[in-house]
Amino acid sequence: MFVLYREKFRFNELNNNKMKKLGCPQCVIHRFFVKNDKGESIVVVVSDDYKIIPIHESDNLEGFDLTILYCLGCSWSGSVKSLTGGKHKKKY
């Protein structure tokens, strides 16, 4: 329970600051995961200046492949540059 509460708090923290997050070009979700060569994955969000930020404070991005993001909401995967932000018009 404590952990869940903490995660929720952290997530709210991310939501509350003015940082804009980029979304999946397919399903517009703002959460992704990245993988390392051990097959581990961590959940991240991407700010509109293409910074990859782990949702869990304790996570370390070291050793993770940040060139490919995997969407949590659909089967999309790709680079941060192909994410959609608030400034861009939707193509569909």
In angstroms, the CA 38 to CA 25 distance is 27
Alpha helices in the chain (DSSP H): 2-16
Q: Which amino acid is at 41?
A: S
Q: Is 74 in the site for Zn ion (CB under 5 A)?
A: yes
Contact 67, 32 (CB under 8 A): no
- The answer to whether residue 24 forms part of the interface with Zn ion (CB under 5 A) is yes
33 binds Zn ion, rule: CB under 5 A: no
Confirm or reject binding of residue 69 to Zn ion (CB under 5 A). no
Stretch of 8-16, 35-43, 57-65, 70-78 contacting Zn ion, by CB under 5 A: 70-78
- Per rule CB under 5 A, is residue 68 in the interface with Zn ion? no
Question: Contact between 85 and Zn ion (CB under 5 A)?
Answer: no
Query: How far apart (Å, rounded) are the C-alpha atoms in residues 42 and 64?
Result: 9
52, 73, 78, 85: which one contacts Zn ion (CB under 5 A)? 73
DSSP state of 15: H
User: Which residues contribute to the site for Zn ion (CB under 5 A)?
Assistant: 24, 26-27, 29, 71, 73-74, 76
